[in-house]
Amino acid sequence: MTDTRITEAEIAALVGRFYEKARQDPTLGPIFADGVHDWDTHLATMRDFWSAVMLTSGRYKGNPFAAHLRHNLRPEFFTTWLALFAEAADELVAPAIAAELRSKSTRIAESLKMGLFYRPGANSLPMAG
């Protein structure tokens, strides 16, 4: 393990550990049970995603927004996702790497929430004319 840069082996362990936690979680477990039908492919995709995020490997070629759009998600689910992801990171990698993972995962979650749930003007009052 390195203190400054995550390895592919650590990414694989992190992805595996996170999904162990998520699948057992009462909030996220049912979502993954309904949404993931081929776990080997899903885990490989997630390893590619995190390799691209953390190592700029370019291995991930998907669209995270489109992948999440087809599920019945709510904004509060991201709080649980982030907590479980942080737990897995803290368990498996050096503190500096875990901090970087938490930072990147928070930005990713915020971006997804904005894309999935933000509707400008949906709750605004009409302007007086």
Average pLDDT score over residue span 46-62: 95
| Residue 72 maps to a domain | yes
Total domains in the fold of the chain: 1
- Closest-CA residue to 50 (of 5, 75, 15): 15
Per-residue HEC secondary structure of the chain comes to: CCCCCCCHHHHHHHHHHHHHHHHHCCCHHHHHHHHCCCHHHHHHHHHHHHHHHHHCCCCCCCCHHHHHHCCCCCCCHHHHHHHHHHHHHHHHCCHHHHHHHHHHHHHHHHHHHHHHHCCCCCCCCCCCC
| Residue 3 maps to a domain | no
| Residue 106 maps to a domain | yes
Q: Residue 52 sits in which domain range? A: 8-116
| Residue 88 maps to a domain | yes
CATH number at residue 63: 1.10.490.10
- Whether the model clears a pTM of 0.75, i.e. scores above it, the answer is yes
Confidence of residue 103 (pLDDT cuts 50, 70, 90): very high
| Residue 103 maps to a domain | yes
| Residue 87 maps to a domain | yes
Average pLDDT score over residue span 16-29: 96
